[in-house]
Amino acid sequence: MAQLINGREIAKQVRQETAVKVAALKERGVACGLAVVLVGENPASKVYVRMKQKACAEVGIYSEEHKLPETTTREELLTLVDQLNADSKIHGILVQLPLPDGIDELEVLSRVDPKKDVDGFHPINVGRLSIGEDTLVPCTPAGVIEMLHREDDSIQGQKVVVLGRSNIVGKPVAQLFLRENATVTVCHSRTKDLAAECRQADILVVAVGRPAMVKREWVKPGAVVIDVGINRVDDALVGDVDFDSVSEVAGRITPVPGGVGPMTIAMLMSNTATAADASS
């Protein structure tokens, strides 16, 4: 039976360490500040924003929520981003996705000052990551790597298969694994024989948004399985991995909930502290 990777416990450690860093910055006269922009009434987004506010309070980061109606125009949203870019008490800006129809997400994300881009989505930060420079990194991929480091799982030389090629998880996590000297394969909906590719993985990262897609026969015995998916099925939250069957063959596995999810917010707090430190 696979050993569980406890994302809640690891995230707690990261938040505690971030709180120490935030306190040290305050002693230097730097009060970390995060602004979250929420447009519309997406229920999941509202839950995420509340969780981020709670985490900010826990680690001592000043937070602002800018809640805008669904009818907000492109110009109004870009003006707000410009104001936050110019606000010296704000070190991190997070524009909650998805945005309403009619607003170009890439245009908005590109408007955020790259130094305040704590989501790591600005094209400049994406480019820096791709060429191996230090930069602000997307929170979920950063959380995946942090979990493995703290579990003392060796990454160097491992065969990593990433199932999913999104800009938010798949592509950046693949880049981070390359930076760790892993051998990386990225699979997607056009990949031939997905199951065979996944069975090659020492570390399998799944981020496709399809409930219980990855079955036992897709996983090499003893592999580490990182389930990034979160799907609501019959009022229950489930991942992209068929947890019960895969747990019988994997060496380590993240649960859903309680795996990668808590790490995402913990790494957002860490990124905000890093951005504040760089600005001082």
Tens digit of each residue's pLDDT (9 = 90 or more) over 131-176:
999 999 999 999 999 999 999 878 999 999 999 999 999 999 999 9
- Is 159 an active-site residue? no
- Is 234 an active-site residue? no
In the chain, count of helices (H) and strands (E)? 10, 11
Q: In this structure, what token pair is assigned to residue 57?
A: 């309070």
Residue 43 is predicted with a pLDDT of 82
> Per the confidence metrics, is the pTM higher than 0.85?
yes
CATH node for 139-261: 3.40.50.720
CATH node for 28-115: 3.40.50.10860
Tell me which of 52, 115, 116, 220 is the catalytic residue: 52
What whole-number distance in Å separates Cα of residue 176 and Cα of residue 140?
A: 11
Tell me which of 21, 115, 117, 119 is the catalytic residue: 119
Lowest mean pLDDT, pick from 25-29, 46-50, 201-205: 46-50
- Is 3 an active-site residue? no
3-state helix, strand, coil in the chain (%, to 5): 45, 15, 40
DSSP 164-196: ---TTTHHHHHHHHHHTT-EEEEE-TT-SSHHH
Domain with CATH 3.40.50.720 in the chain: 139-261
pLDDT tens digit sequence for 115-133: 999 999 999 999 999 999 9
Tell me which of 21, 96, 113, 175 is the catalytic residue: 96
Domain with CATH 3.40.50.10860 in the chain: 28-115
